Structure 1
Amino acid sequence: MSINIVQALKQVSTATITTFLFQKGLKNVWIRRASPLRPGQERQVGAAFTLRFVPAREDLATESIWSAPISTRAAVEDMPAGCIAVADTGGVTHAGSFGDILCARMKVIGVSGLVTDGAIRDRDAIEEIGFPVWSNGVSSSPSTSGLTFVDWQRPISCGGVAVFPGDYIVADGDGAVVVPPRYAEQIAASGPDEERLDLWVREQVLSGARLTDIYPPDEAVRERFRASATRNR
């Protein structure tokens, strides 16, 4: 993964990204039911490391599965630094898919964050260690009370969105967005300027500009923005 692309995407909001991808015909990229665990969580960008759970089955969902070759513990140890873990739980929220110990290990090995359409447990402890999480709520119950972990690094569905290993994930205060690699470079190249344009338009609106004159910005408005940016250098 290009560090330049990652750093550039960190300057682009998920709102700007979804608009860009909508213009390319991609309408289903925002992961539903994955909200920031705490307010003010810093935007995170990384390659998707996918994990898949299925509903619990009593003969499999036992304590022994935690140390089995196919387990969340084994998957975490396979995660590269800089990735974002994306967990498909089918939206199960009565069991916590991840807790503070797994999140602590992810933090130590350099994982950038966790996105899941399920619940997490040990919320206070996870906040204390400062590991960024986007989830569908919290639960004190262990994962085995409602889930069985079955695989990692395969295509998954998370929050109604298809996620493939290696997709770019951008997560901020508005949630998490999947960026197919073929579009990442384009967003990285144009996104920061779009963010600056949005800020300038907002300032114009706060100064009294009429929406019909400035938003959404047409080419004339963009030229005014470019001229203003040149003057302020």
Structure 2
Amino acid sequence: MIEVQPLDPVMVDSLRRITTATLTTVLLKKGLRNVWMRGTRPFQPGQQRAVGRAFTLRFISAREDLATPASWSSPISTRAAIEAMPAGCICVAGAMGVTDAGIFGDVLCARMRKRGVAALVTDGVVRDSEGVLSTGLPVWCQGTTAPASVSGLTFVNWQEPVDCGGVAVYPNDVVVLDQDGAVLIPAAMVDEVVALGQEQERLEGWIMKRVNNGAPLPGLYPPNAENVAAYEADRALDL
């Protein structure tokens, strides 16, 4: 099994201050267009933002001889996968966008919470909605359903590449979650994306002040050479 690599707490704190909107813009400039996981909406309004390494789960279409209640006791099961999740990781479950079979319910979410998992992200749905909410585990998903996972899905394995919401997610990629959804940062690009994201947030904060003061957008957003110079001069004063 691929071990989850620790994520520097300073990096986590920095990413919590960068919106997913900004991250998608930064990644777009680096040539990555497909990083926002479709269908991953906050389960509850106002959920706390979350950042962590991806711990992946893979589901495929249900096959009647494999997708049974008995499979929940198999060595290859969601139950076993949860026991391998380290504190601080984000569980990313690729569920093929299936919305009539809940991948997890309240008991499994409660166990994830006890293990210190930062959040659950899936392009599928959960069940036992009231119970899931009561666990306090932050969840991003497509909604809820009553039937169990084996009604429409077969669990295959954990810690291997998965497709979640049309995005290729590899173990140890970094996932950032906010009210706009889930964004993936490739593991090899995290340091660069954080640095660029912080600068983008500073620049947009400066631009917003100008907008609030009545400045027109042409030449300001994006900034032309004159406004870049003005930004850099103001930035130098703040350092």
TM range (shorter): over 0.9
Identity in percent:
51
Q: Work out whether residues 51 and 85 of structure 1, in 8 Å CA contact, stay in contact via their aligned partners in 2.
A: yes
Which of 222, 231, 234 aligns to 1:225? It is 231
Which of 1, 7, 24 aligns to 2:13? It is 7
In structure 1, the residue matched to 2:111 is 105
Shift of 1:15: 0.9
- Calculate the TM-score normalised by the size of structure 2: 0.92
Q: Work out whether residues 15 and 176 of structure 2, in 8 Å CA contact, stay in contact via their aligned partners in 1.
A: yes
Quick check: 1:45 aligned with 2:56? Answer: no
Unaligned runs of 5+ in 1: none
Q: Work out whether residues 26 and 196 of structure 2, in 8 Å CA contact, stay in contact via their aligned partners in 1.
A: no
In structure 2, the residue matched to 1:190 is 196
Q: Please tell me the root mean square deviation across aligned C-alpha atoms, in Å.
A: 1.6
In structure 1, the residue matched to 2:178 is 172
Query: AA paired with 1:194?
Result: Q
What SS is found at the alignment partner of 2:51? strand
Quick check: 1:127 aligned with 2:133? Answer: yes
Q: Deviations over 1:113-160 (max 9, x none)?
A: 011010111222222222111101211111111111110000111111
Deviates more, 1:191-200 or 1:39-48: 191-200
What SS is found at the alignment partner of 1:211? coil
Query: AA paired with 1:228?
Result: D
Cα distance in 1, alignment partners of residues 122 and 40 from structure 2: 6
What SS is found at the alignment partner of 2:12? helix
Shift of 1:196: 2.6
Q: Work out whether residues 116 and 136 of structure 1, in 8 Å CA contact, stay in contact via their aligned partners in 2.
A: yes
What SS is found at the alignment partner of 1:203? helix
Cα distance in 2, alignment partners of residues 218 and 106 from structure 1: 48
Unaligned runs of 5+ in 2: 1-6
Which of 210, 219, 228 aligns to 1:213? It is 219
Q: Deviations over 1:156-211 (max 9, x none)?
A: 11111100000001111111111012211012223223213212312321221101
Q: Work out whether residues 11 and 191 of structure 1, in 8 Å CA contact, stay in contact via their aligned partners in 2.
A: no
Query: AA paired with 1:185?
Result: D
Q: 1:41-190 residue pairs with structure 2 within 5 A?
A: 41-190=47-196
- Calculate the TM-score normalised by the size of structure 1: 0.94
What SS is found at the alignment partner of 1:195? helix
Query: AA paired with 2:89?
Result: C
